[in-house]
Copies of this chain bind each other. A is one copy, B any other.
Amino acid sequence: MSLTDVYRYVDNNQDKLLEDLFRFLRQPSISTRNEGMDECAQLLAEEMKKLGIETKIFPTGRHPIVFGEVGPTNGDPTLLIYGHYDVQPPEPLELWDSDPFEPTIKNGRIYARGSSDNKGQLFAHVKAIEAYKTVFDKLPVKVKFIFEGEEEISSPSLEPFVAEHKDLLKSDLFVVSDSHIHESGHPLVVLGLKGMLYVEITLRGANKDLHSMRAAAVPSPVWRMIHLLASLKGEDGMVQIPGFYDNVRPLLPEEITAAEAIPFDKKELLSDLGITSLLQNRHANDYYKNMIFEPTCNISGLTAGYQEEGSKTILPCQASAKLDLRLVPDQDPDTILGLLKNHLNRNGYGDAKITVHGGFEPSRTPITHPSVQLASEAVAEVFGKEPYIYPGIGGAGPNYVFAKHLNVPCLIIPFAAADQNNHAPNESLILDGYFNGIKTSATLIHKLATTNITING
Interface residues of A (CB under 8 A from B): 194, 196, 198, 200, 205-207, 210-220, 222-223, 225-227, 229-230, 233, 235, 273-275, 277-279, 281, 285, 287, 290-291, 294-307, 310-316, 319, 322, 324, 326, 357-358, 393-396
A317 to chain B minimum Cβ distance, whole angstroms, is: 9
A393 — which chain B residues lie within 8 A by C-beta?
Answer: 213
In the bound assembly, the distance between CA atoms of A303 and B300 in angstroms comes to 11
Contact B312 A216 (CB under 8 A): no
Contact A217 B275 (CB under 8 A): no
Contact B312 A281 (CB under 8 A): no
Given contact pairs A298-B315, A303-B303, A315-B298, A233 touches B223 in the complex (Cβ within 8 A): yes
Contact A306 B296 (CB under 8 A): no
For the complex with contacts A207-B275, A213-B291, A301-B306, 12 further pairs of A-B residues with Cβ separation under 8 Å are A198-B311, A211-B395, A212-B300, A213-B393, A216-B294, A216-B326, A217-B294, A222-B302, A302-B302, A302-B305, A303-B303, A311-B358
Partner of A274, one of B206, B297, B310: B206
In the bound assembly, the distance between CA atoms of A287 and B216 in angstroms comes to 8
In the bound assembly, the distance between CA atoms of A393 and B277 in angstroms comes to 47
Most buried by B among A194, A290, A301: A301
Contact A215 B296 (CB under 8 A): yes
In the bound assembly, the distance between CA atoms of A314 and B273 in angstroms comes to 14
A-B contact pairs, 17 of them (CB 8 A): A198-B311, A207-B273, A212-B296, A213-B296, A213-B326, A213-B395, A215-B279, A215-B296, A219-B275, A219-B279, A220-B299, A226-B230, A227-B230, A300-B305, A300-B316, A301-B304, A302-B304
A306 to chain B minimum Cβ distance, whole angstroms, is: 4
A200 — which chain B residues lie within 8 A by C-beta?
Answer: 311
Copies of the polypeptide in the assembly: 2
A214 — which chain B residues lie within 8 A by C-beta?
Answer: 291, 394
Contact B324 A300 (CB under 8 A): no
A311 — which chain B residues lie within 8 A by C-beta?
Answer: 198, 200, 300, 322, 324, 357-358
A324 — which chain B residues lie within 8 A by C-beta?
Answer: 212, 215, 311, 313
Contact A274 B394 (CB under 8 A): no
Question: For residue A200, which residue of chain B has the nearest CB?
Answer: B311
Partner of A281, one of B207, B216, B306: B216
A300 to chain B minimum Cβ distance, whole angstroms, is: 5
Given contact pairs A305-B301, A393-B213, A395-B213, A273 touches B218 in the complex (Cβ within 8 A): yes
Contact A220 B358 (CB under 8 A): no
In the bound assembly, the distance between CA atoms of A315 and B296 in angstroms comes to 11
Contact B290 A205 (CB under 8 A): no
Contact A313 B291 (CB under 8 A): no
Question: For residue A196, which residue of chain B has the nearest CB?
Answer: B313
A357 — which chain B residues lie within 8 A by C-beta?
Answer: 310-311
A395 — which chain B residues lie within 8 A by C-beta?
Answer: 211, 213
A220 — which chain B residues lie within 8 A by C-beta?
Answer: 279, 298-299
Given contact pairs A198-B313, A300-B316, A217 touches B305 in the complex (Cβ within 8 A): no
A229 — which chain B residues lie within 8 A by C-beta?
Answer: 226
A275 — which chain B residues lie within 8 A by C-beta?
Answer: 205-207, 218-219
Question: For residue A296, which residue of chain B has the nearest CB?
Answer: B215
A444 to chain B minimum Cβ distance, whole angstroms, is: 27
A223 — which chain B residues lie within 8 A by C-beta?
Answer: 233, 299
A158 to chain B minimum Cβ distance, whole angstroms, is: 18
In the bound assembly, the distance between CA atoms of A279 and B210 in angstroms comes to 14
In the bound assembly, the distance between CA atoms of A222 and B210 in angstroms comes to 25
Contact A273 B322 (CB under 8 A): no
A217 — which chain B residues lie within 8 A by C-beta?
Answer: 278-279, 281, 285, 287, 290-291, 294
In the bound assembly, the distance between CA atoms of A349 and B313 in angstroms comes to 24
Given contact pairs A226-B226, A298-B315, A219 touches B278 in the complex (Cβ within 8 A): yes
In the bound assembly, the distance between CA atoms of A322 and B305 in angstroms comes to 9
Contact B215 A326 (CB under 8 A): yes
Question: For residue A277, which residue of chain B has the nearest CB?
Answer: B219
Contact B279 A216 (CB under 8 A): yes
